[in-house]
Amino acid sequence: MDAERAETYLRLKAETELRRLTTPGGETMALPHPGPAAAQNWPGPPATAQNWPGPPATAQNWPGPPATARLRNVAQALTTVGAIDHVVADAILANFELAVAVRQPAQDRSLISARPAMRRRVARLMQAVSQHPMPAPDPGAPLPGPAAPAAQPGPDRVIPVGMMVPVRDDEVRGELYLMAFSQTPNGARFSVHAWLRDALSDMPPHGAIHLLRDFTATDDQGAGYALGFAGHGTMAGWNGLLRLDRAPPPGVRWLDLACPGGPTRRISLQAPLHPPAVTITEITRSPGEHLLNATALRILTAAAEATVPRGTTSSMALRQTSQLATGLGDIVEALVAAGALSPLSPVPGQLAMLCESLDLREHGITAPPASELPVPWLSMLSYAHRRKPEIVSPRDGCADVAVALPELDGVTISILGLHANEEGTDMHIYLTGIPPDVNPETHLLPTLWLRDDTGRWHAARGKGMNVVHDGEAAAQLQILPPLTRCTSLDIIAAGRSAEVRGSVPVRWR
């Protein structure tokens, strides 16, 4: 890749967009007024990063004239593939917005201070600072306090659990489903999904979080552990991690988990007798191809979501599908200019074909549409074209799918369970090896595809990344189309350097 060419391309694009805005009869120049809508797409603190896989490609929700969205998409694509430093890209965007602002009519001059790129720069700085050590009085000092359990040496392990435990106190009752146990250098945790109800009204309770904080455990050697819940709750349930205050030593065979107001349950920490079969195939994908594949996944998942008639969700998904496709030609051109994508790559043509199959005409890709599409794309396209969900979703169920995939592009992904409800199917994963200097908002992670036992393909897209710390993160992915009551799954993680395939049994409970 060529950073100079990438930067030149982005700057030339800014010139083009500024010209469009200043040409009489051109696009409106209005910049967004600050407000709630404008806040929606700014990167927040690290714990709120939303994007999986990497390329947010979000003209959607982006406040301001279309020129800003187009420029931002190109900037984001170039930073995502590593062709240009995000500091440089942010500065170009911020200066573009200032250039637009000083060409505003006098009455709109207050917008000079409302430039989103400027805010984004500051928010990104906040994120960077929180991830990078700053000069400290004693860099060698140990991590302080009781909330800093040192990671115990021991192998990473991922173990399916598949256990439902009742929980209750005077105000709240419910069930906690323990999907899987995982242990990494940063600690140990269970992935969990909880259904909680108010003991009197049977409605989702307010402030039920206390009930999920009081778990304790004892291992087979008599050592005690405190467990705390970390995650989030909605009307449909609570998802997250039940995190042990320290990692069990390697030799521990089981834990006795004491639940608040409920029984004590024994959980085996021994590796399953028949671990899932996993294969790895080396491939070589350019950063640009990887980005475009991830973009295709986002379009396909948005198109799949649009087929589900759920109030405003489907119309929002339709709009998102269209927005994801709009201006892809600019991104392809930028990637080629930056040397991140070969001009001979077949992927732009495939993406053009995908867009046209979905009647998305504004893609702007100049490559001729390909005659053939990858099989997973075709499968999801046929789902989208059916325009009605033909599947029976497992209502309020969990599956103890657990597998640690081999390292891919430096990142290890552990699948830690599935849960399904009327909102769809979600997959819980845990990531390790996220480089310390990456921006989790834009870092391009491997794409995840799933094939069920009927041969239908599904894709995983980001729903929420709980935390990034020391290169580890817990994330929740939405599976689209939602899974049926399948009994096995092939999971394919596709990165730049390899594809990993794992076959796992699925036991719904």
Partner 1 sequence: MINITNERWFLSLSPCSAEVPCGTGTHDLRWEAGSLRLPSHPDAEAELVLAALGGERARCVELAETWARHAEDLVVLEVGPRGPADTVTVSWDDVPRSEEPTLHFGWAALHGPPTPVAAPIRFPMRPGHGPAQVRRAMQAEIIKTQQHTAELLSLLALGPAFQFRLAGHVVAAHAGRLSAANRPALAAALTGRLAPIAENWLGLDPDQVRASVESGSGSASSGGNRPPGPPWGSVTLAGKAGDRRLRVSLAAGWLASVWACGLAFVARHLVVAVVRPGWPDAQVLALPAPGKEPVLLDVHGTDGSGHTPHWEI
**Does residue 189 contact residue 244 with C-beta atoms inside 8 Å?**
yes
From the list 137-145, 165-173, 368-376, 411-419, the region that binds partner 1 by CB under 8 A is 137-145
Cβ-based nearer residue to partner 1, 11 or 319: 11
Cβ-based nearer residue to partner 1, 5 or 310: 5
Residues 413-472 that bind partner 1 (CB under 8 A): 466-467, 469-470
Helices 287-306, 375-386: inter-axial angle, 10-degree rounding:
20
Residue written as tokens 């830690």?
416
Cβ-based nearer residue to partner 1, 240 or 348: 240
Residue 39, Cβ neighbours under 10 Å: how many? 14
Cβ-based nearer residue to partner 1, 409 or 470: 470
Cβ-based nearer residue to partner 1, 49 or 420: 49
Smallest gap from residue 3 Cβ to partner 1 (A): 7
Determine, following the binding rule CB under 8 A, whether residue 227 of this chain makes contact with partner 1.
no
Smallest gap from residue 143 Cβ to partner 1 (A): 4
Residues 32-61 that bind partner 1 (CB under 8 A): 34, 36, 39-40, 42-45, 47-48
From the list 3-11, 66-74, 248-256, 279-287, the region that binds partner 1 by CB under 8 A is 3-11
From the list 177-185, 237-245, 281-289, 389-397, the region that binds partner 1 by CB under 8 A is 237-245
**Bond before 481 cis per omega within 30 degrees:** yes
Q: State which of residues 196, 212, 317, 398 lies at the interface with partner 1 (CB under 8 A).
A: 212
Residue 307, Cβ neighbours under 10 Å: how many? 19
From the list 194-202, 228-236, 373-381, 430-438, the region that binds partner 1 by CB under 8 A is 228-236
* 13 torsion bin: left (phi>0), alpha (psi -120 to 50), beta (else): alpha
Q: Which amino acid is at 318?
A: L
State the Cα–Cα distance between residues 209 and 225, nearest whole angstrom: 19
State the Cα–Cα distance between residues 389 and 275, nearest whole angstrom: 33
From the list 143-151, 302-310, 374-382, 428-436, the region that binds partner 1 by CB under 8 A is 143-151
Cβ-based nearer residue to partner 1, 15 or 422: 15
Q: State which of residues 233, 376, 424, 440 lies at the interface with partner 1 (CB under 8 A).
A: 233
3-state SS record for 353-367: HHHHHCCCHHHCCCC
State the Cα–Cα distance between residues 168 and 173, nearest whole angstrom: 4
Total residues belonging to the chain? 509
Phi, psi of 359 (to 5 degrees): 65, 35
Which tokens go with 44? 């927040």
Q: State which of residues 7, 175, 400, 426 lies at the interface with partner 1 (CB under 8 A).
A: 7
Determine, following the binding rule CB under 8 A, whether residue 200 of this chain makes contact with partner 1.
no
Residues 91-130 that bind partner 1 (CB under 8 A): 91-92, 94-96, 98-99, 102-103, 106, 109, 112-113, 118-119, 121-123, 125-126, 129-130
State the Cα–Cα distance between residues 247 and 352, nearest whole angstrom: 49
DSSP track, 287-340 = HHHHHHHHHHHHHHHHHHHHTS--THHHHHHHHHHHHHHTTHHHHHHHHHHTTS
Residues 266-295 that bind partner 1 (CB under 8 A): none
Cβ-based nearer residue to partner 1, 237 or 394: 237
- Size of residue set near partner 1 by CB under 8 A: 79
Determine, following the binding rule CB under 8 A, whether residue 152 of this chain makes contact with partner 1.
no
Q: Which residues have C-beta within 8 Å of that of residue 266, sequence separation ≥ 6?
A: 254, 255, 256, 257
From the list 52-60, 140-148, 255-263, 420-428, the region that binds partner 1 by CB under 8 A is 140-148
Determine, following the binding rule CB under 8 A, whether residue 209 of this chain makes contact with partner 1.
yes
Q: State which of residues 25, 107, 133, 371 lies at the interface with partner 1 (CB under 8 A).
A: 133
State the Cα–Cα distance between residues 116 and 272, nearest whole angstrom: 50
Determine, following the binding rule CB under 8 A, whether residue 75 of this chain makes contact with partner 1.
no
* 111 torsion bin: left (phi>0), alpha (psi -120 to 50), beta (else): alpha
Determine, following the binding rule CB under 8 A, whether residue 201 of this chain makes contact with partner 1.
no
Cβ-based nearer residue to partner 1, 110 or 382: 110
Smallest gap from residue 329 Cβ to partner 1 (A): 13
Residue 359, Cβ neighbours under 10 Å: how many? 9
Smallest gap from residue 377 Cβ to partner 1 (A): 31
Determine, following the binding rule CB under 8 A, whether residue 327 of this chain makes contact with partner 1.
no
Cβ-based nearer residue to partner 1, 230 or 280: 230
State the Cα–Cα distance between residues 490 and 394, nearest whole angstrom: 18
